[in-house]
Amino acid sequence: IQRYPDIIKYIPLFDRFLAFEDDNTSKNISICTNFYLEKIISDQKPTIENKAFLLATFQKNRIKETLALKQILDKIKFNNQFILYCNEKEYRNTLKDNGISIIKKPISYSDSLKMTLQSTVLIDIHNPIHNGLSFRIFEALGYEKKLITTNKEIAKYDFYDPRNILIWENQCADEIDAFCNSAYHQIDSRIKEKYALENWIKHYSSL
């Protein structure tokens, strides 16, 4: 809500308003999570590569972690694909010099999903303006991908498992190497299904 404050004027028009982190803006805001689309993958038959994938919008307050993680993945020779939507001309050369692809138009969700499903590790660089968990995190859960994230809040959730989720705190290359090259650990199906869109709708419509 702090990132998109124009929404505040619309909150009174609804009986209940959902947001993915605590907010004291209005008494009728309920806390919820994001979700993943469980049925969208039924028609997909991706060729999975041992690869880390990041798709994000460029923000100055996230570039330090992005570059550091990219450099470590390159150092350990773990295949990776970093794509940033960036209109900041002063940063483009630095990003390109570090092997990051720059796009000037957003990628469709279906194309993003294809690249997500083809990867074994997803990268989530947290935007410090909020503490909620991004859609990328729930895609990792739903599509059984390992996850490297800078959002420490994830450790509070029932699906957190350090075998599948690495909270990035400038770990050494050996730790990143071991994490990326280890197998995904299956979690309880009831926890996974809890965050699927169909169940998400049932849960929040019944509150």
| pLDDT, tens digit (0-9, with 9 covering 90-100), for 140-169 | 999 999 999 999 999 999 999 999 999 999
The confidence band for 87, taking pLDDT boundaries of 50, 70 and 90, is confident
- 64 and 19 inside one domain: no
CA–CA distance, 120 with 93 (Å, rounded to integer):
28
CA–CA distance, 183 with 72 (Å, rounded to integer):
20
Helix orientation angle between 63-75 and 89-97, rounded to the nearest 10 degrees: 20
Sequence-ordered list of residues with C-beta below 8 angstroms from that of 114, at least 6 positions apart, any chain: 44, 46
**Pairing assessment for the beta strands 101-103 and 17-19 based on DSSP bridges:** unpaired
CA–CA distance, 179 with 177 (Å, rounded to integer):
5
pLDDT value at residue 44: 66
- 155 and 85 inside one domain: yes
- 110 and 173 inside one domain: yes
- 96 and 125 inside one domain: yes
Mean pLDDT of the chain: 89
Q: Is the pLDDT of residue 28 over 80?
A: no
The confidence band for 41, taking pLDDT boundaries of 50, 70 and 90, is low
- 16 and 100 inside one domain: no
Residue 204 lies in a domain: no
The confidence band for 47, taking pLDDT boundaries of 50, 70 and 90, is confident
pLDDT value at residue 17: 85
- 22 and 67 inside one domain: no
Q: Is the pLDDT of residue 22 over 80?
A: no
* DSSP letter assigned to residue 56: E
The confidence band for 31, taking pLDDT boundaries of 50, 70 and 90, is confident
- 19 and 70 inside one domain: no
Residue 203 lies in a domain: no
The confidence band for 189, taking pLDDT boundaries of 50, 70 and 90, is very high
CA–CA distance, 140 with 89 (Å, rounded to integer):
31
Task: For residue 110, give the CATH number of its domain.
Answer: 3.40.50.2000
- 16 and 57 inside one domain: no
Q: Is the pLDDT of residue 175 over 90?
A: yes
Q: Residue 151 is part of which domain span?
A: 52-194
- pLDDT one-digit tens code per residue, 50-69: 999 999 998 888 899 999 99
